[in-house]
Amino acid sequence: MIRNSEETTQKDSELGTVMVYEVYEKNENDKITMKVVINNETVKTEELDMEDFPILAYQPERFAGKLYPSPWIDPIIELNKSLNRIYSSLEERIYTFSKGRWMAKRNENISNITDQN
């Protein structure tokens, strides 16, 4: 679904998420019919000039000399790890500043901390 920002009167926060499906069916004339379905409602129906389904087999990238090529999502995983480290650091900082951290000299025996002097 393509949304033009000039034609939209709703705010982006009010728009929901929808699932869009393309359904291919063979009709009685042995032609393929494509339907676009959004939220269980057929939005578009189009008869295609094909007699076979347009399904392609997934072919991963092949590199000479490599048995297992690196996946296409590999760079995204590294970015996600960096984001996780940033969020963890931020959460730790927030926790430390909201609760505070107690420090004591080495070899001192402290059993109870109070606000009394």
pLDDT tops 60 at residue 109: yes
Gap between the Cα atoms of 101 and 113, Å rounded: 12
Whole-model pTM over 0.85: no
pLDDT tens per residue across span 52-95: 877 777 666 667 677 777 777 777 888 899 999 999 999 999 98
Euclidean distance between CA atoms 116 and 20, whole angstroms: 64
Domain ranges of the chain: 18-50, 60-100
- Taken as a whole, the chain contains a residue count of 117
- How large a percentage of the chain has pLDDT more than 70? 75
